[in-house]
Copies of this chain bind each other. A is one copy, B any other.
Amino acid sequence: MENAGGYAGRLLRVDLTSGKIAVEELNWESARKFIGGRGYCTKVLFDEVPEGTDPLGPDNKVIYGTGPLTGTPVPGSGRHIMVTKSPATNLFADTYAGGHFAPEMKFAGYDFIVIEGKAPRPSYIAIYDENVKIRDATHLWGKTTWETETLLKEEVRDRRARVSVIGPAGENLSNLAIVQNDYYHQCARGGVGAVMGSKNLKAVVVRGEKSIKVARPKHLLNWLTDIEKTVQASMEFGVIPNRMKMGTPLTLNITNEVGVLPTKNFKYGDFEGASGIDGYAFRERVIADTACFACNLGCTKVTKAGKGPYAGAVVGGPEYETDALLGSNCGIDSIDAMIYANVLCDSLGIDTVGAGNVIAWAMECYEKGILTKNDTGGIELRFGSESAVFEMIKRIATREGLGDILARGVKQASDVIGQGSEKFAMHTKGLEYPAYRPGPVSPAWGLFYAITERGACHRRGWPTQIEKDKLEQFSTEGRAELVKRLYDQRIPWHCGLTCDIVVMFFGLNHAHAAISLSAVTGWDISEEEIQKLCERVASLVRAFNIREGATRLDDTLAPRSFEPDLRGKGKGKALTKEMLNTMLDEYYTLRGWDKNGVPSRDLLAELGIDDVAFELKKAGKTWTNKSKEVRSNEKDGCRQ
């Protein structure tokens, strides 16, 4: 297989234990099969991180990935992926961030960076084209993400260097720890920051001078013009308002109305104080708009808090997820408080989704008397208390008192606290729910959370509008097809690698993926091949989790999600376990998986990944008796 356009063609491998730095040629066969991003990185993880690896041990790996589209003028091509085995779920984790780090990796000449082992002391990796060094970071340990980024740019004497960094939360191995780049962009989910922290790795700094070769520039230019034409027609004033350019918090107005806005630890789907944190409240605090590399959508907004003790605080965000999880889900109705909470999370290196979720859970524990002032270190941990939220964020970062437990994420925290608190710990597979409440109003979100491999995930597709407008209410009808379709729509772009918000708002489809990927790589990639890529990637990621012991029983929801709604459109109705099972059956069938969600050897062979089938068989994790009997052994077929 020969070198193709778009790729830098090289993988950088850094062993922090030995200090060995190696540059490997890309595995072109893998590149052809998996393109890049989620596909390629997962294959590396599957091949190199064996079953049962301790996520926080030296054998786990952190993989930074780009794709052939990265750094080209394709819209949204400024995004990178990080893949690892998650300490929160003990399963596969992928997490993405925008900004400018990804193109800079390509400019430096690397499609992927694989980091393994554990450094003997706090370290950072400095990359300037061929010049790659592991450097001491003792002086940076304990510093905030923002301080570290600024100090590192000074240290490498290059204002244009791109920095990917952890905060104190990552150093302290919190399962909520993020990796942040370009000050305001986060690989936020799955605790990838803790994996970096466990390796004593504070940051990766990258700067490059190389250019990216596009194989068929004329084709790409024509496609870019076509896309511009199509997109602009649909964005025309008065026709479709360009919603995403308003920033993500306008989503809150929709979810509150639809009834899927997480409120008070997902008890309700609408919030009486929504107007305090909605898109319009947010908009009044915006002081600057900005955009990631090669993006003409530009959804990133910089805000400044206007009132309260935190007036003047400036942050990139709050995005909708932050706004909803730290806002309505904690009973808080002030956009200024959201801005400040966002400042704390970003600077300390904490996932705002996980933090909002676990703090709301703790608030409910406090409300129910499961946690007392004694446990909270004197904090009145009540819904609606801004100061309680701020204080808990800080303690999560430092792991002080209750913060040490919350830092583990809501699943592990509820395992520690017990007393029935597991019943309202809102997660799937150990990853906290993001800001859509699954339930009778949205079975589709229920299915999405159940089947996503990293645990409850909101970036595989956005079913809210279609489910509301086109599908029968309170029913499972059409959900499996919708979820698979949306999930698959994004796969080529998650491999490509571009931003899924751009994909959604520009309505990019598999034909677009085939054209743009063919133009950049020079391979002739058909739409059929793109569909096969989707099945291949979905089955590969699934296989990783299966090898780690995940079964159909893990494709489930938090117990609260099966309870009848207390108010709103779905009042008295429930998303039942039977409904979820129906959707799972349908989804597995659409994927060509068996009743236990296991891809057969034949399917894997057909997808060209026989080696994965072999590995699964070796691990005894194919069609086992256990999984065969799941449905008869467990009445409801989905574990909690």
Contacts and interface: CB of A to CB of B under 8 A. Distances in A.
Interface in A185-240: 211-212, 214, 217-218, 220-222, 224-226, 228-229, 232-233, 235-239
Copies of this protein, total: 2
A293 B167 CA distance: 40
Nearest to A289: B245
A232 B162 CA distance: 12
A283 B316 CA distance: 17
Interface stretch (A134-142, A295-303, A352-360, A417-425): A295-303
Given A237-B316, A242-B288, A289-B289, A103 B214 contact: no
A290 interface: yes
A284 interface: yes
A468 interface: no
B183 A237 contact: yes
Contact of A286 (B211, B233, B283, B296): B283
Contacts of A229: 103, 107, 293
- Counting contact residues on chain A (CB < 8 A from B), the size range is 35 or more
A233 B160 contact: yes
A333 interface: no
Nearest to A292: B232
A262 B447 CA distance: 60
A273 interface: no
Contact of A296 (B218, B288, B298): B298
Contacts of A580: none
Interface string A375-389: 000000000000000
Contacts of A294: 225, 228, 296
Given A229-B103, A236-B182, A287 B241 contact: yes
A72 interface: yes
Interface in A278-319: 283-284, 286-291, 293-296, 298, 302, 316
Contact of A222 (B211, B218, B237, B286): B211
A589 to B, nearest CB: 39
A221 B73 contact: yes
A71 interface: yes
B287 A182 contact: no
A100 interface: yes
A7 interface: no
26 contacts: A72-B225, A73-B73, A73-B221, A73-B224, A100-B232, A183-B236, A183-B237, A211-B225, A211-B226, A212-B225, A214-B218, A217-B217, A221-B221, A225-B294, A228-B293, A229-B293, A232-B291, A232-B293, A237-B316, A241-B287, A242-B288, A246-B287, A283-B283, A283-B286, A289-B289, A289-B298
Interface of A: 71-73, 100, 103, 107, 159-160, 182-184, 211-212, 214, 217-218, 220-222, 224-226, 228-229, 232-233, 235-239, 241-243, 245-246, 283-284, 286-291, 293-296, 298, 302, 316
